[in-house]
Amino acid sequence: MAKPFSLRAAGILGAIALAFACSAPKAQEEEKVLNIYNWSDYIADDTIANFEKETGIKVRYDIFDSNEILHAKLVAGKSGYDVVVPSSYWAKLQADGGLLRKLDKSKLPNLKNLDPDIQATLARLDPGNQFMVNWLWGYTTVGINVDKVKAALGSMPMPENAWDLVFKPEYMAKLKSCGVSFLDSPTDIVPAALHYLGKPAFSRNAADYQGVPDLLKKVRPYVTLFSSSGYINDMANGSICVALGWSGDVNIARSRAIEGKTGQNIQALLPKTGGVLFFDTMAIPIDAPHPDNAHKWINYIMRPEVHAGLTNKVFYANPNKESRKFIKPEVANNPTVFPSDAEMKKMDLPEAVTNDVRRSMTRIYTTFKTGV
């Protein structure tokens, strides 16, 4: 039955009002603030300033140095952060746990700049690339102060496999005198130990973990520092000579030593068996207060010059295929920043870990660190 005109008109007016309300641009409602939580020593000097200048959005930038710390904030909720940068295998746990918001790709046209191979690698943990955009990537490895290590080893030659330096007590006993630092997180140390034992770094098979506590226990007396950030300056100024650390961080230490003329010759090593790869990813917490601004930031980072600027400053590779021409030759040609295909084949890729696996990594690590 046809409705009386007035009712029809009211219905139409209502629909118009509703359509207007829905199509009102959301970005305009969002305050001009963006809260970012990222790793320490992981951004260029002008990245934030240029974004602020261009968009008028004020960035508040906090730092962390382990996935565990970031995860605890996301699990607690109401972190206030709009963009966080978990490693991909953590981001998978977070996406599965409903802690992240799906990206709106219509707001990320610069996704076109990303290398399809890296996107495919991420898609192993994030099918359809729905939650994560790679910030930078690198690998866990061994860094050394070349002269101090040689002096400490004395008549012992350098091992063929750099991992021996940190996992073989014979080497560690000598290196203790010049200072050995280990990353301070279960999900970095345990995968490196598994890799050294020839097991998958993110194994889901409990039996693979059996040799790890003993391996770690034997070198524990010689670890002089646990650090995932301060070790950069400690390497640069010569107060430690070996680090089980991250590729870019060791290169940052190298460049700080050169710039600061500290006289320390720092080198990131490519172990014979490879390193353990990580892909740190921009993601938006489910309760982010400024999701539109978050998308603007992510899209800005994916500009070739911006992504290249990060790599030039912190010596981690980026996923941006269009950025290559903006990368300084000395960085582009550094095989520890962009390892060859042959090196890449040897590296362990991050794999999804269950919460149970993660907890058992924490148990093993805590026992190791506290030395009980």
Q: Under a CB-based contact definition with an 8 Å cutoff, are residues 80 and 33 in contact? A: no
Whole-angstrom Cα distance, residue 173 to residue 9?
Answer: 86
Residue 42 sits in the site that holds ligand N2P (CB under 6 A): yes
Residue 299 sits in the site that holds ligand N2P (CB under 6 A): no
Residue 231 sits in the site that holds ligand N2P (CB under 6 A): no
- Candidates 35, 36, 39, 236; binder of ligand N2P (CB under 6 A) is 39
Residue 40 sits in the site that holds ligand N2P (CB under 6 A): yes
Closest CB to ligand N2P among residues 42, 167: 42
Q: Under a CB-based contact definition with an 8 Å cutoff, are residues 314 and 229 in contact? A: no
Residue 184 sits in the site that holds ligand N2P (CB under 6 A): no
Closest CB to ligand N2P among residues 57, 306: 306
Residue 87 sits in the site that holds ligand N2P (CB under 6 A): yes
Helix, coil or strand: residue 98: coil
Tokens 């390193």, located at residue: 275
Whole-angstrom Cα distance, residue 138 to residue 187?
Answer: 15
Q: Under a CB-based contact definition with an 8 Å cutoff, are residues 165 and 150 in contact? A: no
Which helix (H) or strand (E) is 281 found in, with range? strand 276-282
Tokens 């010049």, located at residue: 178
Closest CB to ligand N2P among residues 79, 87: 87
Whole-angstrom Cα distance, residue 311 to residue 303?
Answer: 13
Closest CB to ligand N2P among residues 172, 236: 236
Closest CB to ligand N2P among residues 82, 249: 249
Which of the stretches 38-46, 117-125, 267-275, 328-336 binds ligand N2P when contact is defined by CB under 6 A?
A: 38-46
Residue nearest to ligand N2P (CB): 39
Whole-angstrom Cα distance, residue 261 to residue 308?
Answer: 26
Query: Mask of contacts with ligand N2P, 259-298, x by CB under 6 A?
Result: -------------------x-x------------------
Residue 41 sits in the site that holds ligand N2P (CB under 6 A): yes
Residue 88 sits in the site that holds ligand N2P (CB under 6 A): no
Whole-angstrom Cα distance, residue 129 to residue 112?
Answer: 13
Query: How many residues make up the chain in this entry?
Result: 372
* Interface positions with ligand N2P (CB under 6 A): 39-42, 87, 138, 246, 249, 278, 280
